[in-house]
Amino acid sequence: NESEILAFDNRIKKEGIIPEYVCELKIDGLSVSLQYQKGILISAATRGDGTIGEDITNNVKTIKTVPLTLNKEIDIEVRGEIYMSKEVFNKINENRKQEGKELLQNPRNAAAGSIRQLDSKVAASRKLECWIYHLPNPEDYGIKTHMEALEFMKDLGLRVNPNNKLV
């Protein structure tokens, strides 16, 4: 809440640090880690237990907002969020209702269930999307701030949410 943010900001400033913050929208979906080798997507995994996740590469390759090839031949891991738009969610549920099927409970669970399908055609039909928001090892690329990381990833051709602001 606002009072906690202000208290945090005051603690930082008492340490002699003049902070800059990046404000971004929170997207509620399924966390994904993408591995590119020489700029080509080689694997996609869920967060899992924090160390080992599920291999979801084939289904992620059906997401139009995940580039299969980057703008640069680079070895890199990036992380983001796979989600289903409310519009797609509502349309799927309209169809399911007409077919007498059980309705999906919410877009987040629908996205997670869709990406874990064994049949990539089902995942593709769900029109999932992805935003990339995190570079785990920015120092490897000479990056010092989160905003620099967002710009770097965007320049590589990754989809970074434009609703962010340095404050």
Query: Hey, which residues are catalytic here?
Result: 26
CA distances from 1 to 4, 6, 8, 21 (A): 5, 9, 11, 16
Pairwise CA distance, residues 90 & 113, whole Å: 16
